[in-house]
Structures are given as structure tokens and as C-alpha cells.
Structure 1
């Protein structure tokens, strides 16, 4: 099989054709594979439940991209010929000649001065032999926008010098944008936008950062109008970046420039900003639109962005740009952000999905991605903040939700400490500080940090909501169900991300209280459970898996004689890998074990029902987790094995069996029984399909197998590679 890296490069697949054809066919319809879920009573009319594995949509996009391109070849072979010549250097426009004679500019098709044609509007005349649109460049003496080493966003004074053109110099723009980000990190959100807005129609960096802040706000509010406005602003930013790019696509111009004129720094910055705009627009497309056509459009933007970053990464070498260039660090930081984010994200996908993505031209290397992001985060450049935030999200969230909860807080603390020292009241960094304390098991310290984050600013209430979500879980870990309910109630009233989840959590926390204890605000958990399905919504065309899980679990309360869920709050805690946090506090584990033991006794006394086996297996799974963290390995193994042994009697909660095998394999890994662990993981991965939260379980299985494979390679072991 050919190397996937070369599938989209000449001569097999000319890059200009791949990008241009995909842009022409952005409206092509796509495919999706529905999955039928086990049916439960009280559903009324039979229906199918649909869930796409995370990443499967992107796989479909890549396959469609290949098919569409070859379809275009069959429908329009002359276009293929023209573009192949363009990729090979025979394009008249690229060589500077138009069909009617005369030279034209790569950037805007302007005529060369002296050939009898007028320069474009808004451009000043230039000397003969130069194009009228060529930027005068960065003036000498312009102040550097590079912050002091060790503090990526420190300072950022304005630029000196001047330019007769309507846009400021690159250095001055970088300096102004750096200062705007400083305001943002000081919780001066409105001031930050006010600094950026006057130049947002003429400067690519002002436009990009202005649109990025609006996008961040839209994603947190989840208001339709905010998302639409952010999408329009980001599209305008992309158009502004396009003005500064070469006329041909970056992949075509880089690949075919054999001894020709080099790209200017401004053009390279424009490519980075353009690629970043594509990614932001893709994210907004996924949020805004709910059909497969728009989902494919977003996927095409992602792929185009990836190709640009990949070409830029291979182009920017020490000998290509002068090391003394003031803006070089910002350019390298932008490329490091894109390459690092793509490699890290793609490396998280299970192998079967990753192989298809690699066939379509993508590649993912976790170590390389982390190295690039660390490089971008620890050097003085405009995107150091984004690199840092991506790494913090990875270390404090992704490794927990989609992994096995490895202790990466040391790296996270090292990244966060200089920012906290510079911005001690920043709501963003206080949130991450609280999250680090939470995953360390310091629940009280985490609560303090989250509360400080809420009191630090009042302008953007959406930052409060992130803290509310974590505060809800912190109090749930402590078994303080009323306090956890309080924050779930706040979220259900103020936040739009997943009202179904918030209402479900309210009901779940109330159901953990003793029956005789008064309920806050007189609410009843049964009525709340019955309301959950009415708040269902879609993101990127589908309901979030956790929301669908909550709706399915709450369905049993629709019956007049319902069977209550045994420990719904602890079950959802497991879905978010919260038992890894509990495992660091022995006193909290003991309290949780008492709760599970009491639930087990109630199930034994309860009359027989269709949910009886499912509920008992759930309690056994969670009890096994607690016993494992309490170092009662034999008892924990017995619990996990009992769940696996009940496989044929489980009626609805089929997710319990593969997760029991996963937890048993982790127990074996801790005991050094790696071969047995690999066998269990392969069984969990290959033998079970179409169960609740399947994608999250597969990601965790992939994380364990990757860890075992790395250990095997480090020890130089011989044998079958875990996969």
C-alpha cells in the first residue's frame, strides 16, 4: 500500500486540484450510518436511535472527498489537464503571463507597472518592474511585537514607523493584537474587542483575533444569533486574510516554486491566518447547521486547513527566513499551533478510524503534536496562549474523559504557573487552576479556585457556567447532593449547552437523598426525569452522547409504576471518569462504598423487574471501581467478573459488559498482567457494538492499548503488539 503522506501530492493527486475541486463541491451530500439501539418499553412507537462514533463523520468526509475528486476528473478532464499543468509549473498565471499578454501579480492579478494597465483601486503606483500591489514591507525601526521570553503575552507595545497604505505594518499589528489579548486575560473583554474592532476590516491579525473572541463567546452562550454573527465575522476575517495571500493556493505555490521568488513574510502570515480561519469556521459550521451537507462543508474546511499547515510546516526551515526577523516567532507559533493540534487530536482516534484518516491524507503523532504545542506555548509569540490552553485542555480534560485519567497535572502546573503569576485574577486561568486541584484530589482547594473564578469578573457569565459544572461535580464527590443540585439548577436556568443533561443531573442528585428528606424548592425527581427528553437538542446535527444516555436512562420514569434508578448520580460520574478523582481520597471512597452497599441491599429487597439484572450489574461495576482504588483487588476482580458473567441476562444497559472488561484490564495492568489485559481489551473492542457511550469506551480502550504498546517498545519486548 502506498505511503498515505503521498496520496495528495504530485503526480498522483495534484494539490491545487484537490483543494479547488473540493471547494467547488462543498454542497455535495454525504452519508451516515445509523445504528439501532436496544428497544425499551414506554417508547410508544418503535424508533431507531442514532449515534455516530466520534470521528466517523470525518472519515466519511475524507472518503467523499476522494470520490468527488475522481468524479470531477471523469466529468471535466480538461480541467484536470489545466490544473496538472499548473501544478507542474506550466500555468500561465503562475509564470506571470496572462493569455492576452503582459505580466500579472500572484497576489491580486494586478498589472505590472509600465505595461499600460492601471493598478487596482486603492493601490499606489509603483516603480517600473514592480507590481503596484506589492506591500512596502515592515518599516525600519518598527517596534517588535515579540513579548519577553518566558511570558508569551507580556508587554506588547505599539509599533513605530509608518506606512502610506491603509493597513498597518505587520509588526505594529502583532503588537496591538498582543495588547488586546493582555486585556482579554485581565477580564477586560469589552476593552479587548474595542481595541481590535477599528482595524478588523484591514488587518488580518486584528480580524482573526476579533472574530476568535466572538467565536469563543458564541460557543459559551450557545445562542443562535451569537453563533451566526461569529460565523459572519470569521468569514470576513478569512476574506481579509485572502487579500494578503498569493493568488494560487499555498500547496500549489509552495510545491511548484522551483527556484522562483520566495513568499514574503506577509504572505506566509496570511497563509497561517487563513488556515486558522478555516478551522474556526468549521467549528462554527458544526454548531450552527444540523444537516450532513453542512457537516461535509465543515469537514472540507478542516482538510483544507490541514493541507496548508502541513505545507507551511515543511516550508518554514531555518534557512528560509532570517532568524532575526521580528515576526518569525509569531509565524512559527502559528504553524506549531496548527500542526500540534492536528497531530494531537488525530492521535486520539482508535486505529481503525485513524487508518482511514491516514489514507485520506491525515496523520496523527501524539508525541510530535505535544512537542509542537509545547514549543508554541513556551516561546514568545501571539499564539502562545492558544497553545497553552490546548495543552491544558488535553492534560486536564481529554486524558480524563477520553483516556484513563493519567496524572498529567505536573505538566499542566508548569504551563499555568507563569500565567497565574502575571494574571492572578484571570477567570480563564483560575478555572484551570481549579481543575488541576480537582484532578489531584484536592476538592476543597478546587472549590475555592472555582469560586474565585466566578467572583473575578461579571462581564461574561459564561465563564461562571464552566465553574458551575466543575463545582457541581466537586460537591458530588463529597456526597453533598443538595449543593450539587444547586449548581445543576443554576446551569439548567442559565446555560443552553445541554438542558437535558442539567435537568437529568438535578433529578439524579435529588434521587440520592433519603426519601424522607425535603427536596429544595419543592421539586420532585420523578417529574424532573420525565421532563428530560423534552429538552433534547442537536449539536453538529446530532445529540451529544451523554445527553442521549441521560434521555434513555430517564425513560423508565414515564411509566406510572416506574422502577427507580439505583444510583444515577454515581453512574453519570463514571461516564465522566470521576472515580479517578475519587480514587485519590480514601475518605470519599469509603463514603461512596457505603452508598453503593446500601443500594445493593435495596435491590436485593426490591420485587423482581425487567431492570433487576441491569441495576445489580451497575452497582457491581461501580463497587468494583471503589474496591480497586481501596486496594481490595480480589474483591474488585470478583465484581467485574460478575458483571461479565451476567452478559446474557442484561436487557438494556449493554454498555456495562465492555466497561467491566475495560476496568478489569486496568486492574490487571496495575498487577503487571499485561498479556491478560490485552486479551480483555481486544474482546471489549471487537465483541461489542452499538451500546451507549460506545465511542467514549473505545477511546479509553485505545488509550490503554497505546500505553501498553509504548511500555512494550520501551522495554524492547518481543511479541504481538497491542492494538
Structure 2
């Protein structure tokens, strides 16, 4: 049963019966467009300028910001920003909303100037909030007023987000944070966000978006795919009905179809998202990334290359990663097929190390992984990587997606078999054991999703048996332990699963994508053990 359904039964009754009724109505009837978390008042004057009326300045500011948010969700991005910008110096809600939009833009572009502007704007908004706080503290008669629900929604957003994020961190990081007084509980965080998402407060939309991000992205990329797709669909549906052409909602609709394994429906949604607006190309780039993976899952290498190529030309997030993915897809084609693209896999692989970049002084983990793998092609007579798109697919937890469809998984297993034949026919080299262990790990994943658990376990064990002979891809061993542990967990072998997972967590360091693997191990341990405050596991 879904988390939201369980929560609905356990939530205490609110003193305000109207708010409780609205919350229940949203959860029970997700298709109702009249109970959205964004103001729904077509009769509202689009320009709120009469500050002489009896309503408070705070009420007017909130209403104006919700109108701006409504414009933003309708893809009218510039109009929303213009409306907010004029009052960022005197209204904390205008300042915060404007800064949040700039932060979103900066996260999508990774443009240094966008990041700097967004950061400075957020600092300015914090200063305005501090000024307002000082005014409130100096007020002799402060009490809960008509806008208290917006304040309460903000608290639930902050507390919920903090608890959720802290609880997902690896144990070693959690222990350090706990030492200085930080604690977090995942279930409590989700509960706070669900409570904050109901009703029509200013932060309801943000609570919904964070829940959607958790269920559709964080739980897959930094977890084991434990997100609740059913809850995500319930959260999204009313917004899709009110904003059928809203880019954000079309994107999430595509992502939900993707993680359900409905790739054709996902592709259609992402294409719609690209067509409905042209102001923010960053939304296009997010869709291109997901489209690239959808076609990877379908083994349509040419189309996957097409979207990787678009990203390499239009987006600056990680040129090295895009070049690596282009090379990876070309490596799956015949030499004659590659001629039509005017590039070769060898040339692209050799370009990857030179495209390395740093953001805030740090390199992206995916970029570092791509550079390490591409170095093999710097040799005069390089030995080809085995199925590089399928390896990167594992890094992004793509096997959890294809595992929902038997035909997709069987096709991927067939491709891995073809790569095995190539490896067996190649003279033995310093890379042979690494390549064999990689194929064994990926075969094990496919077999696990196909229900052939004994065969899957044999392949995971094969990686572990060759640990001492692996020269470069040391990340394979802890990840094989992780997957073996998840397999044991599915079979009810709880003690064995915990032992494998803790071995993977404690015995291996300084390997590729280590942090992401630790996040996944932590999520798996959450499944295997009772989880208490801060994600620390209770005794069993």
C-alpha cells in the first residue's frame, strides 16, 4: 500500500477542519483540478497595485507571488520573473520566489554566471527575511494571523526536506553529522512533505515537487528504486489537468512512464515537453537526457547518439560525459553505420579527457568515471571497451527500469552475450579480467530481473572470486556485493544480505562512483534492517 494511503490513516485530526477536508479531498480525488496548490482564480486582477485596501501587505504579496508562480507553471517564464523582480527589494516572498526560479535555472544550465547571480540573489532574499524577522520579533502583539498557514507550509517544507536528505546520507557521514547535533528521519520527512503538499499554501507546490523528485529520481539514482510511482502519479495528476502544457509536469509525466518501463509513452511525453515552450531550452536538455536513456533501453543506438549529440552541442553540464556517450553509442554500430555520422568512436573517446571541467572546484563523478574509461583509447592500438552504454546504464540504475519488462531485459542480455563472444575471441590482455567481471555483473543484473536467481548469484560470485586480478575497474567488487546483497534480500536471506552490504560499505575505498554506491548501499540497508532516527539501523 502506498505511503500516502498509510499516512492518510495515521495523520492526527487538525484543529482546522477545513484544512483537513481539503487535504483529504486532494489525496482521495487526485483528478480534481479545483484543489490545486497554486492559486486558481481567473478573476484575479493580474496586477496587484492597490495597497490602500484593508488586506495586509503580506496577503497581497503572497497573492501576487502565487500569480507569478501560476505564470511560471504555464511556461510564461519571463513574465513571471518580470513580475517578481520589481518587488524583490521590499517583499521577502517576492525575493524568495525570484531567487528560487534563478536557482532552478542555474541548476539546469550549470552556467557559472547563472550560478553566481542565483547565489547573490538568494543571499539578498535571506537578508530581507532577516529584516522581516526582526520586525516580527519587535512586534508586541504577534499572533497567528490569516497567513499562518503559509508559514506552517514553509516549516513543513524545510523540516521535511532536511529530514529526507539527511536520512539518505551514508552511515559514515551521518555519524559525523549526529556528533554535531544533526538528525534526520526519512519517514518523518516524507510525512512532513505530504502534509505540506495539501491545501493551497504558497509552499504546497514545492512540497509536491520535492516528493516527485524523491519518487522519480533520488530513489533511483541514489537508492535502489524504492520510490512509490503510484504516489507520484497521484501528486502529478491534478497539476497535469490544470497545466496540460506545463513543461515541468510533462517532464515528470515522462519520467514516471520511463521508470514504469513504458518507454514509448515516456518518449511521447518528453517530446511534448520540448514542443510546448521555447523560452527555457534547459527543459529541452533535461528531456534530451531522458530521451537518450529511453532509446538506450530500447537499444536504438542511433537515436541515443542523436540526443547525446544534441546535448554536446547545446548544453554545458558535462561535455566530457556527452562525448563519452556519443563514442559509446558509435562503438555499438558497424563501421559502415558510423560513416553517416561523420565521427568515429575512437576520435570521440580520445577527446573525452580534454573536455574535463570543474564546478565549484570539483569534477562531476560521472565525468571522472567517463574519463577513466576513455583513457584506454589513448593507446596506439587500443582495446575496445565491452558495451560501454550498458555499463554507464548501470551507473544510472537503468537496469531497474528495463527489469520491469521481460522483453527489454532479454534483449539486453542478448547484447551482453554478443559482447561476451567478442571478448572470448580477443587475445588476452591486461583488461581481460576487468572486462569479464563487468559483463558478469551486468549479466547477473539481467538474470536477477528475469527471475533466474541462481544464475544471477553465480555471476555476482564470479566477480568476487576475481577480485585480486582486477587492475582498473575496482568499483565492480563493491557493486557486485551490493547486487548480491539485494538478491539475498529478495530471497529472504536477511542476515547474509546485511553481511554482504556491510562488507561493501566498510571494506572498499577510493573507487569510481564511490559516493553513489554508498548511497545505494545505505538504501539497501534501510530495507534490510529496522531504521531509526537519522537512518541509523536498529539492532536486529
Equivalence for 2:169: 349
Question: 1:150 maps to which residue?
Answer: 35
The separation in 2 between residues aligned to 1:686 and 1:236, in whole angstroms, is: 43
Question: Secondary structure in 1 aligned to 2:341?
Answer: helix
Tell me which residue corresponds to 1:537. 357
User: 2:214, 2:227 within 8 Å by CA — same for their partners in 1?
Assistant: no
Please, which runs of 5 or more residues in structure 1 have no aligned partner?
Answer: 1-146, 254-259, 265-320, 714-718
Higher relative contact order (CA 8 A, sep 6+): 2
Looking at structure 1, the residues matched to 432 and 444 of structure 2 have their Cα atoms a distance apart, in angstroms, of 18
Q: Distance in 2 between matches of 1:560 and 1:604?
A: 22
Query: Which of 395, 398, 408 is the equivalent residue of 1:588?
Result: 408
Moved over 4 A (4+): 158-161, 260-263
1:163-312 → structure 2 map (5 Å cutoff): 163=52, 169-246=57-134, 264=142
> Which runs of structure 2 are paired with 1:114-513 in the superposition (5 Å)?
150-155=35-40, 157=44, 162-163=51-52, 169-246=57-134, 264=142, 321-322=143-144, 325-513=145-333
What is the CA–CA distance in structure 1 between the aligned matches of 2:179 and 2:496, rounded to whole Å?
32
Q: 1:171 to 1:651 in 2, by over 3 A?
A: same
Work out whether residues 338 and 344 of structure 2, in 8 Å CA contact, stay in contact via their aligned partners in 1: no
How far off is 1:504 after superposition?
Answer: 0.6
d(CA) in 1 for partners of 2:339 and 2:277? 32
What secondary structure, in the 3-state scheme, does the structure 1 residue paired with 2:86 have?
A: helix
Distance 1:239 1:684 in 2: 45
TM-score for both structures, normalised by structure 1: 0.67
Kindly indicate whether the alpha-carbon contact (under 8 Å) linking 1:482 and 1:520 is maintained by their aligned counterparts in 2: no
Partner of 2:14: none
Q: Give the structure with the larger helix fraction.
A: 2
What is the rounded CA distance, in whole Å, between the counterparts of 1:240 and 1:514 in structure 2?
A: 60
2:457 to 628, 637, 647: 637
Cα drift, residue 676 of structure 1: 1.0
1:336 aligns to what SS in structure 2?
helix
Structure 1's 646 and 334: CA in aligned 2 closer, same or farther, altered over 3 A? same
Matches within 5 A, 1:610-625: 610-625=430-445
Question: Deviation digits for residues 668-698 of structure 1, max 9, x if unmatched?
Answer: 1111111111111111111111111111111
- TM-score, normalising length from structure 2? 0.89
Aligned ranges 1:672-711 → 2 under 5 Å = 672-710=492-530
Taking only aligned residues, the RMSD between alpha carbons, in angstroms, comes to: 2.4
The 3-state SS of whatever aligns with 1:589 is helix
Distance 2:164 2:242 in 1: 28
Q: Deviations over 1:440-474 (max 9, x none)?
A: 01010000000010001011111000000000000
Contact kept? 2:530, 2:539, Cα under 8 Å: no
Shift of the 239–407 alpha-carbon distance from structure 1 to 2, 3 Å rule, reads closer
CA distance in 2, matches of 1:565, 1:263: 70
2:191 and 2:350 map into 1 onto residues whose CA distance is 48
Determine whether 1:570 maps to 2:390: yes
Distance (Å, rounded) in 2 between the aligned partners of 1:408 and 1:450: 21
**Contact 1:329/1:379, CA 8 A, preserved across alignment:** no
Work out the number of aligned pairs and report it.
502
